[in-house]
Amino acid sequence: MKAARAVTANQKIIRRLLFGVVGMFGFGFAMVPLYSVFCDITGINGKTGGRVAVAVTEPDMDRTVTVEFIASVNQSMPWDFRPEVTSMEVHPGKMYRATYYARNRTDRAMVGRAVPSVTPGVAARHFKKTECFCFTEQRFSAGEGRDMPVMFMVDRELPEEIEVVTLSYTFFDNQKALN
C-alpha cells in the first residue's frame, strides 16, 4: 500500500514538473512577440513601428530639433554601413530625407536587415518614417554598394524638452532569406 502511494505521489510530481517545463518553454516563445507589442505601445527601446501615414501639418518653423544618425553592423556582418550626414537640424512637422550607404564587402550575394532604434525612447512615437530601407530585406550582390533613403518627420507633439533625437540602425545578416 505504501509503495502504491509512493508511485502515485511520484507520478504527480513528474506531471507537475513536465507541466512546468512545457509552460516555461511556451512562455519563452511568447516573450518575443509580447516584448515587441509592449515596446510598440510604450515606445520603450526606441521602436518606431513600421511605415506610417503622415498627416500634412504646418511645420513649426520656430523650433529646431537636432536629429543624429548612427549606423552599425552586427559583428558577423561584413558590410560597410554609414549615414551620409551625422546630424541635421529639422523643424517639427516638416518632411526630411536622409541617406545611408551600405556595401557588401564579400564575394557572394548577401541579404541584410536593418533594425532601427530611436532615442530617447519617448521620442520614438514622435519620429515618423514614411519610406525606409528598414521596412524590407536588402539584397546585395557581391561587392555591391548603394545609397538607401529614409524619409522622416519629427512630430510637432515632440515634448519641448527634447532637443536631440538619435536615429540608429544596426544591419544584421539575414542569410536564411537567400535559401
- Work out the pLDDT band at 6, boundaries 50, 70, 90: low
Please say if the pLDDT value at position 120 is more than 90: yes
Beta strand pairing status for 145-154 and 110-119?
Answer: unpaired
Do 62 and 32 fall within a single domain?
no
Instruction: Please tell me which residue, 163 or 22, carries the higher pLDDT value.
Output: 163
CATH code for the domain of 94:
2.60.370.10
From 163, 170, 158, select the one nearest 43 (Cα to Cα): 158
Please say if the pLDDT value at position 85 is more than 70: yes
Do 76 and 130 fall within a single domain?
yes
Q: What is the pLDDT of residue 78?
A: 92
Mean pLDDT of the chain: 84
C-alpha cell at 160: 519641448
Determine the average pLDDT of the residues in 79-98.
96
Give the model confidence (pLDDT) of 23-44 as tens digits: 777 767 666 666 666 555 555 5
Do 103 and 153 fall within a single domain?
yes
Do 36 and 51 fall within a single domain?
no
Number of domains in the chain: 2
Do 105 and 133 fall within a single domain?
yes
Do 65 and 136 fall within a single domain?
yes
The torsion region of residue 126 among left (phi > 0), alpha (psi -120 to 50) and beta comes to alpha
Percent of the chain beyond pLDDT 90? 58
Determine the average pLDDT of the residues in 8-23.
81
Q: Note down the domain range covering 64.
A: 47-178
Which range is least confidently modeled, 53-62, 64-73, 118-127, 161-170? 53-62
Q: What is the pLDDT of residue 51?
A: 47
DSSP letter at 135 equals G
- Work out the pLDDT band at 12, boundaries 50, 70, 90: confident
- Contact present, 98 and 150 (Cβ < 8 Å): yes
Query: What residues form DSSP beta bridges with 129?
Result: 152
Instruction: Please tell me which residue, 49 or 127, carries the higher pLDDT value.
Output: 127
Do 98 and 57 fall within a single domain?
yes
Q: How far apart are CA 118 and CA 102, in angstroms?
A: 20
Do 97 and 152 fall within a single domain?
yes
